[in-house]
Chain A
Amino acid sequence: MLFIDRPGWLHKLHPFTKLVLLLLSAALAYLTGLSIGSLSLLLAACLLLIISGGIFSVSAKMVIRIFLPLILFMVPIHGLLNPANTTEIFSFHGIVFYREGLFFALKTLMQLGVVISASLAFVFTTHPADLITAVSHASGSISIGYLLGFPLLLLESMRERVVTIQNAQRARGLEIDGNIFRRFTSLGPLLFPLLIGSIVGIEQRSIALEVRGFKIHGPKTSLRLVPDSLLQKLSRRLMLTLAVILPMLHFFR
């Protein structure tokens, strides 16, 4: 779970408000044909969001981890090899670096930067349980909330089960460490018990859910309170409208 539990205005926002904000950021970055200048303003706004939300340090670590390899690959590759390259910036022993490729790489990285920083703002400040509750409330179906939440929760239990199976297989003499080939050949004895265990577990889990009244008719309540407000509801509508209209305006211009 990536959620960071700390007080902050972003944490208090309804999950859907943050989701729509993420959607709007992605639409602006990719579908409205923003220039590098406008994109840098949008990126700065996302950065401001992260700083004011109190998640800067953890987001910065994640962004560096994602972007450093991308910068190291994309900038030289496009600067040197992009088919649109015409304007030379500098050359070194016959290797020519071009302006068009550099700008293309920068624009792509900035678009990605906007979406990733908005996504991080969402995942670091939204408890998955709040999202599941909000989805269940909005859809009126507990099953949809379950479909969303179960994989998130099961991941942790699966990880623990993998460690148990790994230890059991190691104890039987299976070599699961070493080179890629050896690791690949040991995948079968690791994956099959995990898969079979999970399938067997599903039957019992479905019984456990039924006996807790999963399909019981009548109104349902929620222990978890996900606060919403009229202002947020209006903001969501406005942002959704912008996310649809602005790309359309760009498309038909």
Chain B
Amino acid sequence: MPVIDITQLSYCYRENNPPVLQDVSLQIYSGQFVGIAGANNSGKSTLCYAMSGVVPHLFHGKFSGNVKINGISTLEHTVSDISNQVGLVLQKPDNQISGMRFTVFEEVALGLENRGFERETIRKRVSEMLNLMELSSHAERSPFHLSGGQQQRLALASVLAVDPPVLILDEPTTFLDPSGAFHLFSILQKLQKEGKTIIITEQRTDLLAAFTERVIVLQEGRVRKDGSPQNVLTTPDIETAGIGRTRYTKTAELAKKNSLWQTDHALPATLNETIAGLRIRKNTDDYKN
């Protein structure tokens, strides 16, 4: 059974506006690391909201279709109830600070307090999360005094503290530098290995190619492509969906034009695939010589 099952989902924020999502059907399985790509206004954020119950509960637009989390429809439960199953991390780090707690430690504890956990359990769990996100040295600082990257890790720690099996992140690297973005993806990969299902919307295709196992491309609210990063991100027509191909794909394509890449070998999306492809080419040349 899929952990997230979306059937013919369509949504528009206002009655007479064009739909943001149109007839989307998707199944996401437990333990998958899924990337969602698409240009601005392609419906990525709305899809994240739909998978976490924010749509239609907090935005009262026109909703049709069905979204089920572990077999339970999001229409039948509140966002707070769904948050036990799905953790949602948003784009802007400072807007995710609750504004209810004075220290980083207390901020992470908020979700656990709301669920009635014992004080000792809260302390233990929060310390674990701060260690995981490398925020332990900031535990007593005000959340508002952290940098953007630290605030984003704090938001992730706050969501993770509740231990939801599914994590949805809506463009969490927008305000991060390249190393911060890479660090965040490394943490997510670690969480996936521990059994979590990760769904992330992201514009940087090189990160999607390097870390995810499945990429879904949205265009004008519809699923345009769905498959492995190598299959999806190397096809030239994804550029019409407003997504740039990775530098490795472009380099290999140029190499192919200059007879430096095996014509029958698939184009790469990652550095490792590029090296493997160049190695095949070199071995063929060595054999010929």
For A180, the chain B residues whose CB sits under 8 A away are: none
Render B96-130 as a binary contact track against A, CB cut-off 8 A, 1 for contact: 11111110011001111111111100110010000
How far is B81's CA from A23's CA once the two chains are assembled, in angstroms? 41
Q: Shortest Cβ distance from B102 into chain A, in angstroms?
A: 5
B102 touches A129 (CB 8 A): yes
A154 touches B99 (CB 8 A): yes
How far is B84's CA from A212's CA once the two chains are assembled, in angstroms? 9
Q: Is B79 an interface residue (CB 8 A)?
A: yes
Q: Is B158 an interface residue (CB 8 A)?
A: yes
A128 touches B52 (CB 8 A): no
B155 touches A208 (CB 8 A): yes
Render B68-94 as a binary contact track against A, CB cut-off 8 A, 1 for contact: 000000000011110110111011101
Q: Shortest Cβ distance from A39 into chain B, in angstroms?
A: 37
A216 touches B115 (CB 8 A): yes
Q: Is B54 an interface residue (CB 8 A)?
A: yes
Identify which of B98, B115, B117 contacts A209 (C-beta below 8 A).
B98
Query: Which of A128, A204, A207 has the most chain B CB within a 10 Å cutoff?
Result: A207
Q: Shortest Cβ distance from A245 into chain B, in angstroms?
A: 37
B87 touches A221 (CB 8 A): no
B159 touches A211 (CB 8 A): yes
Q: Is B41 an interface residue (CB 8 A)?
A: no
Q: In the complex, what residue of chain B is closest to A157 when comparing beta carbons?
A: B144
* Interface size, chain A (Cβ < 8 Å): 37
Q: Is A142 an interface residue (CB 8 A)?
A: yes
Q: Shortest Cβ distance from B49 into chain A, in angstroms?
A: 8
Q: Is A205 an interface residue (CB 8 A)?
A: yes
- Judged by DSSP, the binding face of A is helix
A218 touches B95 (CB 8 A): no
Identify which of B79, B91, B105, B113 contacts A211 (C-beta below 8 A).
B79
Instruction: Give residues 211-232 of A contacting B (CB, 8 Å).
Output: 211-216, 218-225
Q: Shortest Cβ distance from B116 into chain A, in angstroms?
A: 4
How far is B116's CA from A224's CA once the two chains are assembled, in angstroms? 13
Q: In the complex, what residue of chain B is closest to A146 when comparing beta carbons?
A: B100
Contacts A208-B90, A223-B106 hold; do A215 and B80 have CB atoms under 8 A apart?
Answer: yes
Q: What are 9 sample pairs from A and B whose C-beta atoms fall under 8 A apart?
A: A150-B99, A205-B97, A205-B99, A210-B54, A210-B78, A212-B114, A221-B118, A223-B105, A223-B106
**17 new A-B pairs (CB below 8 Å) besides A210-B58, A213-B111, A219-B116?**
A129-B102, A149-B100, A205-B96, A205-B97, A208-B96, A208-B98, A208-B155, A209-B98, A210-B54, A211-B80, A211-B86, A212-B158, A213-B80, A213-B83, A216-B114, A218-B115, A221-B122
Residues on B facing A (Cβ under 8 Å): 49, 52, 54, 57-58, 78-81, 83-84, 86-88, 90-92, 94-102, 105-106, 109-119, 122-123, 126, 142, 144, 155, 158-159, 162
